Amino acid sequence: MHLFDREKGSAKMGNLVPFMGMVMVILAQVSSMVITKAAMSSGVDKYVLIVYSNALSSLILLPCSFVFHRSVHLPWNSSNLCILIFLLSLIGCIGQLCGYAGIEYSSPAMATAMLNLVPAFTFILAIVCRMEKHEWRSTSSQAKVLGTTISIAGAFVVTFYKGPTILRLPHQLLSSPQINWVLGGLLLAVEAFINSAWVFGAIIIVSGFYGVLWGKAKEESGEESMRSPLLQNRTEDKRSFA
């Protein structure tokens, strides 16, 4: 009985882990947006923030990749893979630039609300690229379409509707705060689309990379299996000759 209760409790914790991870990611994103807005309001340029954030990410992730992925080796003909990784990184930097510019023109609250466009754009790209099979009679497909519609409608509302100003900044980027708000919303929408495209590009590159590694491993195992009968025949010939 106690063993069953423990297994049931561990299963519940296993189901809660993904949701806890998503909540932690959202908290980290919101904190980053608030800090970014505060830094840009104090005079820090968005290009400097991009350089610092990418440099800090490299310092943290590169040692981890060398420690945990030492056994993974790139194939000999990996020039195309390096070019794809560079293009994917460039797309990520462009999306980051659009996001910082959108936060600069609008607010972290709006940037957080526009994050709902990422799953909507991802679903649309999945249908366009035929990675998602849409069935109108399926309940899950109807829920996805409804969620996508609500996300896009909410993005239009927060972009083109702005309430009264509660706290006015000492300097304005453009002549009209409403123009700032709309421009920030459009830039954040572009960032959401670029992030969705970045996710698709990363999936394609990772799938291709592991496909090459899998094919190489199968090729090596096939060569070993072809060599082993020859070695076995040679040993049998030597024994019969002896």
In the predicted model, what is the mean pLDDT of residues 153-157? 78
pLDDT-based confidence at residue 163 (cuts at 50, 70, 90) = low
Mean pLDDT across the chain: 75
pLDDT at residue 234 is higher than 80: no
Least confident segment among 13-17, 30-34, 113-117: 13-17
Percent of the chain's residues with pLDDT above 90: 2
Percent of the chain's residues with pLDDT above 70: 69
CA 123 → CA 37, 145, 208, 211, 234, distances in Å? 29, 9, 21, 24, 59
Query: Looking at residue 241, what is its pLDDT?
Result: 47
The long-range contacts involving 159-162, CB below 8 angstroms and separated by at least 24 positions, are: 159/110, 159/185, 159/186, 159/189, 160/185
Query: Looking at residue 231, what is its pLDDT?
Result: 47
Report for 13-17, 118-122, 232-236: range of highest mean pLDDT:
118-122
Least confident segment among 62-66, 68-72, 110-114, 128-132: 68-72
pLDDT-based confidence at residue 78 (cuts at 50, 70, 90) = low
Hey, where are the domains in the chain?
2-62+87-228
Query: Looking at residue 222, what is its pLDDT?
Result: 62
Token pair listed for 208? 């291709």
Residue 154's nearest CA partner among 114, 109, 193 is 114
